[in-house]
Structure 1
Amino acid sequence: MKTLKIRVLITVLFIVTVLGIAAAVISESRQVAGAADGREKYFTSIQIKRGDSLWSIAKKNISEEYSSVHEYVEEVCEANHIYDGEIKEGMYLVIPYYK
């Protein structure tokens, strides 16, 4: 019984380790792909003004590294833990840019 528990624990640890390594490799390949021309991704903070929307912010700040405004908006939402697409005047957002 004790041997079975140890085997199960070792198997679970092995699977978690493999998944962690796979996630790290995938994440790294996404970052390298965006910087193919030598430009690097940075982040800056902006304050939301009256009338701003995620879409208008994206249109002002998007660069050629993004295939669409929608893709940029998704990254802004993910970086700021915005799950409902709602932003309010006075909020601060972290937005990506390349340089």
Structure 2
Amino acid sequence: MRSKRRVIGIIIAVVFVFLMSTFLLSNNLIEAQGTKDKQFTSIQVQKGDTLWKIAKKYMGNEYSSVDDYIEEVCQTNHIYDGKITEDMYLVIPYYK
């Protein structure tokens, strides 16, 4: 009787470990498939452009907010006052 319980316990443990490893591996594969590489492009600021408009055009779901994206654009381009002007060139991050 004890040996049957021991065998059943071992089988349950093996099945549990198998299911957990399968679950964890499938999650890693899903994450890897959804991973995008950060790219950069250069744009010339046009009349009427704002950091907000540029963010709406180029940012993806990788950023938690428009403000986070604008902050990265400002840091990348050494913009400390948050102001851009027409004909200025900006390095813009995006994901592909």
Structure 2 counterparts to residues 9-48 of structure 1, below 5 A: 37-48=34-45
Larger radius of gyration: 2
Q: Report the equivalent of 2:10.
A: none
- Per-residue CA shift, 1:38-91, capped at 9, x if unaligned? 210010000000000001100111101001100000000000000000100000
TM-score normalised by L of structure 1:
0.63
Q: What does residue 87 of structure 1 align with?
A: 84
Cα distance in 1 for residues equivalent to 2:50 and 2:66: 12
Residue among 66, 91, 99 paired with 2:63: 66
Gap runs ≥5 in structure 1: 1-34
Matches of 1:67 and 1:82 in 2, distance apart? 21
Runs of 4+ aligned residues of structure 1 deviating over 2 Å after TM superposition are 35-38
CA distance in 2, matches of 1:59, 1:44: 15
Give the CA RMSD over aligned residues: 1.4
State the one-letter code of the partner of 1:54: L
